[in-house]
Structure 1
């Protein structure tokens, strides 16, 4: 069945039909006419017209003078409430800007959504690399630095399932063997950083580090993306680690050593009082 065909709507619930209208929009299709929405959502034109009207009235969609529909600002307002969305971006942005100033390279912040990484912020650097990321873009976890950092610190069950699944390939350097990926994830956990070398395009390399929340749980990953030729990985690693640590602290994370230090001071008093 092609994407132009309209399936039977008898088994589709009202919420499913409504969400299918919103799902018709993506980075490649940010503006759609009613007919295109109907086709991409797999709905009749009559049903689409009714649902689009309701979404437009609420503010989820906006209609321009030419009759083309766009995602509305009301959805942006709702998305701002997501703890892994705009709120996280606002907290992280000063540290991302510091990382950019230190490297003048592409800086990104991402979260995990299932088996994919979703980019929630991207600062474009001076260097031109083949991979161009936009906010909201998705990639499989195993092909990017942020994805490797997120996967390496995820639940062991998820890692095992992911490594056993088919692994998409984009370049001759992409990790496509489950055993090799497991070893790479172990190295990420050992070193505290992930290096993705030419896995998406053959001219790009990324260095990433995990970002943690108040309880120490993994919430995101930050990375810098540079041209593979001449990449100074040992120089990039401390800068990326510093940014990840700064974001984590701003989110309320406290390293084990700092918690232990405060405990000893409470037990024995301030050092200056001893």
Structure 2
């Protein structure tokens, strides 16, 4: 991180990335602690971020501004994908009435692009814009099964983080699950990222039929949700999205 902090841009990014999903407001002192920047420097850069609507000043410190949301919505690929996927996600939600996700592969992790859930939605830690590991999420496995072989080797070489007692941390078992995705078109998670949650996912394949442009999942709680009952629905939604994306790219 030291080299990244040598530039003004590096300092600004360090401040923005100090915020996590659980943070609403961070004090100046906490930002200093998280970034390692001198207090005076941090105060000056944070002031510039406020002027550009990337941070807001509030009682007790700083919070992320709506300007960041506006920039995020300008990310052309993700915006187009979301627009194409939304009808299929909504239809899948109407068919299952369970929490529905859309995720993509980014820098060796799952990034969630959308999350739809009603009053029955599972208490999943996922959120739009959030990241999760590949090896312990159904969407992650669906994406990893069709990922570049180099990325597969890096993930399987580990270490595989154990997030719950049910997380698959044996490379051989994970490899077997990825082979199952290639054979059956669906991936499962059984309390591997979060206790109490089950999930089924399917990849949306691109023009070549060999690369996943995204993956769709349905998530529900242990005791009520049976992921096997939704394999057909989630696979159909993912295949339909893949077909639409492929036509758009031709």
Q: Assess, with a 3 A threshold, how the Cα gap between structure 1 residues 70 and 93 changes in structure 2: closer, same or farther.
A: same
Displacement of 1:44 in angstroms is 0.9
| Alignment-derived partner of residue 40 in structure 1 | 34
**TM-score in terms of structure 2 length:** 0.88
Between 1:14-23 and 1:26-35, the stretch displaced more is: 26-35
Does residue 59 (structure 1) correspond to residue 53 (structure 2)? The answer is: yes
Superposition RMSD on alpha carbons, in Å? 2.5
Judged with a 3 Å threshold, the aligned counterparts in structure 2 of structure 1 residues 253 and 47 are, in CA distance, closer, same or farther, namely same
Alignment partner, residue 263 of structure 1: none
Q: 1:79 to 1:175 in 2, by over 3 A?
A: same
> 3-state DSSP class of the match of 2:135?
helix
Map 1:156-195 → 2, pairs under 5 A: 156-195=149-188
2: CA distance between counterparts of 1:9 and 1:178? 34
The alpha carbon displacement at 1:67 in A equals 5.8
Alignment CA distance shift 1:10-1:167 (3 Å): closer
Q: Do the aligned partners of 1:110 and 1:117 also contact (CA within 8 Å) in 2?
A: yes
1:248 equivalent in alignment to 2:242:
yes
Structure 1: distance between partners of 2:34 and 2:200: 37
CA offset at residue 183 of structure 1? Answer: 0.9
Q: Provide the secondary structure at the position in 2 that maps to 1:211.
A: strand
1:196 aligns with 2:172: no
Aligned to 1:271: none
Alignment partner for residue 99 of structure 2, among 74, 91, 106?
106
In structure 2, the partner of 1:150 is 143
Residue 20 of structure 1 is matched in structure 2 by 14
* Aligned residues of 2:25 and 2:60 also touching (Cα < 8 A): no
Among 25, 30, 34, the alignment partner of 1:31 is 25
**Which residue of 202, 217, 237 maps to 1:223?**
217
Preserved contact between residue 111 and residue 120 of structure 1 (Cα < 8 Å): yes
- 1:142-164 CA distance string (max 9 Å, x none): 11110000111101121112111
Q: Secondary structure at the match of 2:112?
A: strand
Q: Where does the alignment leave 5 or more consecutive residues of structure 2 unmatched?
A: none
Aligned counterparts of 1:187 and 1:135: Cα–Cα separation in 2: 27
Aligned equivalents of 2:83, 2:183: Cα separation in 1: 30
Unaligned runs of 5+ in 1: 1-6, 260-274
Contact 2:98 2:122 in 1 (8 A): no
Preserved CA contact (<8 Å) 2:190 2:198: yes
DSSP 3-state at the match of 1:89: helix
TM-score (ref. length: structure 1): 0.81
Equivalent of residue 80 in structure 2, options 79, 83, 87: 87
Shift in Å at residue 85 of structure 1? 3.1
